[in-house]
Amino acid sequence: MVKELERAGLPTVHICTIVPISKTVGANRIVPAVAIPHPLGNPALPKEEEKALRRKIITKALEALQTDIQSQTVFEWQ
């Protein structure tokens, strides 16, 4: 799906836990996520901290969307 969105000319960032799968599939802008059952959260954290973590990942994703790249790029936030 990521690839078809980009093929249509829509800049797309893929937030996902298993980066090797994202690379194999052909995503270009990749942001690693936290864990498979909660990619954008961490139930071990208090609510506010969890939301701050989510914001950090999304902020990185927005940065990725505004970055010109030539090939597959992983944008780390950790």
Partner 1 sequence: MLRVVHYINQFFGQIGGEEKADTPPLVKEGPVGPGLALQQAFGDKAKVVATVICGDSYFNEHVDEALDQILGMIEKYQPDIFVAGPAFFAGRYGIACATVCKAVQDKLGIPVVTGMYPENPGVDLCKKDVYIIQTGDSAAQMRDAAGKMAKLALKLANKEEIGSPEEENYIPRGIRVNYFANERGSKRAVDMLVKKLKGEPFTTELPMPEFDRVPPAPAVKDISKALVALVTSGGIVPKGNPDHIESSSASKFGKYDLEGIMELSAETHQTAHGGYDPVYANEDPNRVLPVDVMRELEKEGKIGKLHRYYYATVGNGTPVAKAKQYGQAIAKELKDAGVQAVILTST
Interface residues with partner 1 (CB under 8 A)? 1-18, 20-22, 24-26, 28-29, 33, 35-41, 43, 50-51, 54-55, 57-59, 61-62, 65-73
Nearest-approach distance from CB 76 to partner 1, in angstroms? 15
Q: Is 30 exposed, middle or buried (0-12, 13-18, 19+ CB in 10 A)?
A: buried
Nearest-approach distance from CB 51 to partner 1, in angstroms? 7
Nearest-approach distance from CB 74 to partner 1, in angstroms? 13
